[in-house]
Amino acid sequence: MKAQTALSFFLILITSLSGSQGIFPLAFFIYVPMNEQIVIGRLDEDIILPSSFERGSEVVIHWKYQDSYKVHSYYKGSDHLESQDPRYANRTSLFYN
């Protein structure tokens, strides 16, 4: 029987009440044999989430914010942003090796 691997990313953004200079933690959870990591960034700056996967038709990635807003989707070997929440349009991307 062929095993399938699915990667799921859940983003949790906690913004500071002190304005745009505040630092917010960004936690993500990857359901593959990897460690959970916390990435620290500044509001209005880019953040790169460290992760890796091998491209292929079997890989499925769905990034969601609070399990409701679709941030980014990748499946069948390409990005699928048709149902991406407008707040994330042109703000997310995957880097391929």
Average confidence (pLDDT) over 85-92: 92
pLDDT band at 39 (very low <50, low <70, confident <90, very high): confident
Looking at residue 59, what is its pLDDT? 86
Task: Please determine, for residue 41, whether its predicted confidence score (pLDDT) is greater than 80.
Answer: yes
Q: Which range is most confident: 1-5, 10-14, 19-23?
A: 19-23
Looking at residue 18, what is its pLDDT? 43
Domain ranges of the chain: 6-88
- Residue 87 carries which DSSP code? G
Q: How far is CA 57 from the centre of its chain?
A: 19
Q: Are 94 and 61 in contact (CB under 8 A)?
A: yes
Parallel, antiparallel, or unpaired: how do β-strands 6-13 and 23-30 relate? antiparallel
Indicate the Cα dihedral angle 94, 48, 34, 32, nearest 10°: -30
pTM beyond 0.85: the answer is no
Looking at residue 52, what is its pLDDT? 78
More confident residue, 63 or 1: 63
Q: Give the residues across from 6 on adjacent strands.
A: 60
